[in-house]
Amino acid sequence: MSKAIAGPEIERLIQLLARVPGLGPRSARRAALHLIKKKEQLFAPLSSAMAEALERVRICSTCGNVDTSDPCTICTDPRRDGATIIVVEDVSDLWALERAGAMNARYHVLGGTLSPLDGVGPDDLNIKGLVSRVAEGGVSEIILAVNATVEGQTTAHYITDQMAGMDVKVTRLAHGVPVGGELDYLDEGTLAAALKSRTAF
């Protein structure tokens, strides 16, 4: 707002809400007003949920997943197949694959893709951690579940090269992923099918 008309604390809330993806300046004002109107039902619970999540959130030092424990729930789940690691660019892809529910494997979050033009090299991604996990043994397959973009495929090739000489099978998702598409936008059936018909890389 151009003028401060609702008190500095509310103005600041609106300004910060406007920076949340999915909300803009107008949506932020509407969201703030809605929160104020639903003070007990939504505003108070959301405020405390935010404070708790902020305090407890951790990045898993093993796989890069977001959780409230480190190592994360998936890394410590004994029912998960530790011999298979699904490599993803981002936590949002991990979440999408979990919603598809097709695999009971573990994950490795790279934190992006190789992109020389943007100055993103191998050391900027969590690739060394992946090599270490495979080097420790017990991993028989790595599924490269990266986006079907140029950067994603470049990253997949680089990781495959790093695995040369190690006793691990490297596979990638089947061509159910649309070219140029992003995992997080796919429906769960397509993701599940792409996982099932993964091919040797």
CB 80 within 8 A of CB 97: no
What does 93 interact with, of Zn ion, a copy of itself, none (CB < 5 to 8 A by kind)?
none
Does position 63 bind Zn ion by CB under 5 A? yes
Q: What is the CA radius of gyration of the chain?
A: 20
| Residue 97 contacts Zn ion per CB under 5 A | no
Run of H or E residues at 81: strand 81-88
For a copy of itself, which stretch binds (CB under 8 A), given 1-9, 125-133, 149-157, 172-180? 1-9
CB nearer to a copy of itself: pick between 39 and 175: 39
Q: Which is nearer to a copy of itself, 46 or 135 (CB)?
A: 46
CB of 32 to a copy of itself, least distance (A): 8
| CB neighbourhood size of 124 (10 A) | 15
Residue 141 C-beta: closest distance to Zn ion, Å = 17
Of 123-162, which residues contact a copy of itself (CB under 8 A)?
Answer: none
Integer Cα distance of 44 and 144 in angstroms: 41
Identity of the residue, 61 or 132, whose beta carbon is nearer to a copy of itself in the bound complex: 61
Residue 131 interacts with which of Zn ion, a copy of itself, none, CB < 5 to 8 Å by class: none
- Write down the least CB distance from residue 125 to Zn ion, Å: 16
> Quick one: how many helices (H) and strands (E) in the chain?
8, 7
Cβ 11 vs Cβ 17: under 8 Å: no
Is 19 among the residues that bind a copy of itself (CB under 8 A)?
yes
Neighbours of 105 (CB within 10 A): 19
Residues 196 and 105: their CA atoms lie apart, in Å, by 13
Interacting residues toward Zn ion by CB under 5 A = 60, 62-63, 65, 71-72, 75
